[in-house]
A and B are shown apart, each in its own frame.
Chain A
Amino acid sequence: MTNADLTRLSAAQLADRLAAGDVSSVDATQAHLDRIAAVDDAVHAFLHVSAEEALATAREVDDRRARGEEVHALAGVPIAVKDVVVTKGLPTTAGSRILEGWVPPYDATLVERIKAAGLPILGKTNMDEFAMGSSTEHSAYGDTHNPWDLDRIPGGSGGGSAAAVAAYEAPLAIGTDTGGSIRQPAAVTGTVGVKPTYGSVSRYGLIALASSLDQAGPVTRTVLDSALLHELIGGHDPRDSTSIPEPLPSLVEAARAGASGDLTGLRVGIVTELQGEGYQAGVLARFHESLELLQQAGATLVEVSCPHFTYALAAYYLILPAEASSNLAKFDGMRFGLRVEPAQGPATAERVMAATRGQGFGDEVKRRIILGTYALSAGYYDAYYGSAQKVRTLIQRDFAAAFAQADVLVSPTAPTTAFKLGEKLDDPLAMYLNDVATIPANLAGVPGLSLPSGLSDDGLPAGFQILAPAKADDRLYRVGAALEALLEQSWEGPLLAKAPELEVAR
């Protein structure tokens, strides 16, 4: 097998070859580093590539296997990590100038688990600054380009992780999803992404955006790979007080069972409010074809109404900025990151903080911090933040009522396919609408998965979203794997096989 072929394997396939001794982790890791060298000038998925560290991990795993030691099933399979996750010894910027050059002195819990299992970390992936955005254009370090069309956005905030996986630069990546930052990039890049139940994966060591919404999860090319990665990074962590103190459901087992394509007895709820106006015709057409496949697999379709979802975007853009304005107060120029002295006048701590943040934060971060500070300020708190928290209750009630009628809920993941870079940059509200279908899950804490549903009329990938009740993440994998198998039968292969080959730099 050539090195190029190694980058085309799914993580599960690569893991099998590593276990069988057909290939070494050093070869597999080098193959991905070569691929990054060949295509990342064009894609710009990575902010930092940690070749030496990755190869050192790979060698160690190969040695352990050679000695006959028991290793994790994913040992030796390389992975990319979104730059909002702290990694000891590797620069971590969260896409912001304010953290340029910062090297964290500790690992996030999920990174500890990745390292303990022996997955070589290829590097850190690009993202909208502090995960604020839906296109990765708000990164302080330049745009990431969609591998399907380099003039288009890869989604956001986790556009780097999704593009890395779509461009075969990594078989696995870590994302974080506060309002859709795993699922929407998956949809527009033809890949798979999962936002686990809130509390399923530890938030310790994520640079917090909105603490009551943030959740880390897998970014992959197949549903089974997401299940494998979710099982590795998930589970209780005493260092995160919102971590669920229970074992995860059997996710890999659910994905393997689902791949048989039999969904007899499953009730699928189609959310009325998450389709129709604002959704591209081709996106809806692929969505309805997927529904037919689910029905052919034995599922029953029911239409469910979640009337308060139409208020979810408004509530989200109050709750998120409010929490972000508080979380980002730690970037004060005192203990880490950038420090800027004011141009004139005394350099007091307060003035240094204002000068540092004025220079270190980008436009979208300033916009949201000021919006959040406003929503929390005296005289406005009840009308804005207080009301948004009540909407959150109403959305949770909508979910409870819907899940009484259906085992899973479904919708298109994003209303449109990937738009052109720059197209929505000057219109914040239009940008926010990309997440209209993904935000309700974050507000309620329920898990969601996006998988490719096909190509829209413009030849670009569309996404199919599956939502399950809290702690029932296994349902996502069962239904997702079933639909994936049926769709790939109809396409005679994975959707990504239809993506144009990237020009390879030599």
Chain B
Amino acid sequence: MSSLSRDEVARVAGLARIDLTPDEIDRLAGELDVIVEAVARVSEIATPDVPATSHPLPMTNVFRADEPVAPLDRDAVLAAAPAARDGKFLVPQILGEDA
């Protein structure tokens, strides 16, 4: 198993959309390295013949009755948003200049 380098932590933090300070990257690289080494044991017993389980009690095709219900109150939802205008969420530009 690979160890978690400083560069790798910075790359993954980028994927996870979390800005980290250089100090945080240093600390996380050390901590995550230890954790990853510990959890990598799972591959010791995960042989190809063992099926994967994603859910404790498997259920399939769970439907509810197709009856319309009232949605949440729009104003109440927008009241909790960081910014709103004209009954809509107000968000920053979605695409960068170079997109």
- Interface-central residue, B13, B17, B34, B80, by most chain A CB under 10 Å: B17
Q: Give the distance to chain A from B80, nearest Cβ to Cβ, in Å.
A: 5
For this complex, into which size category does the number of interface residues on chain B fall?
Answer: 35 or more
Q: Could you tell me if B20 and A358 are in contact, using CB atoms closer than 8 angstroms?
A: yes
- Contact across chains for A371 and B36 when beta carbons are under 8 A apart: yes
Q: Compute how far the CA of A118 lies from the CA of B15 in the bound complex, rounded to whole angstroms.
A: 46
- List of B residues within 8 angstroms of A366 by Cβ: 13, 18, 20, 24, 28
Q: Which of B52-99 contact A (CB under 8 A)?
A: 52-57, 59, 62, 64-65, 72-73, 76-77, 79-83, 89, 91-97
Tell me, in angstroms, the Cα distance from A16 to B78 when the chains sit together.
Answer: 43
Secondary structure class of chain A's binding surface, majority of residues: helix
Interface bits A344-364 vs B (CB < 8 Å: 1, else 0)? 001111111111011101010
B-to-A contact residues, CB < 8 Å? 1-2, 4, 8-9, 12-21, 24, 28, 31-32, 34-36, 38-47, 50-57, 59, 62, 64-65, 72-73, 76-77, 79-83, 89, 91-97
- Give the Cβ gap from A434 to chain B, nearest Cβ, in Å: 15
Tell me how many residues of A have a C-beta within 8 Å of chain B: 79
Contact B53 A374 (CB under 8 A): no
User: Can you spell out 30 A-B residue pairs with CB atoms less than 8 angstroms apart?
Assistant: A103-B79, A105-B80, A244-B57, A311-B44, A314-B40, A318-B39, A334-B91, A339-B82, A346-B96, A346-B97, A348-B92, A348-B93, A349-B93, A350-B17, A354-B14, A354-B18, A357-B17, A361-B18, A366-B13, A367-B28, A371-B36, A373-B15, A375-B39, A380-B2, A387-B46, A389-B53, A389-B54, A392-B52, A428-B34, A470-B56
Main secondary structure on chain B at its contact with chain A? loop
Q: How far is the CA of A386 from the CA of B38 in the complex (A)?
A: 16
CB distance from A140 to the nearest CB of B (A): 15
The answer on a CB contact under 8 Å between B45 and A394 is yes
With A386-B46, A389-B52 known to touch, is A369 a contact of B57 (CB < 8 Å)?
no
Known: A336-B80, A370-B28. A355 touches B19 (CB 8 A): yes
Total A-B pairs, Cβ < 8 A = 189
Establish whether residues B77 and A105, one from each chain, have CB atoms under 8 Å apart when the complex forms: yes
Pairwise interchain contact A105-B73, C-beta atoms closer than 8 A? yes
Q: How far is the CA of A389 from the CA of B15 in the complex (A)?
A: 23
3 tightest A-B contacts by CB? A445-B56, A358-B19, A387-B46
For residue A263, CB closer than 8 A to chain B, the reply is: no
Interface residue? A333 (CB, 8 A): yes
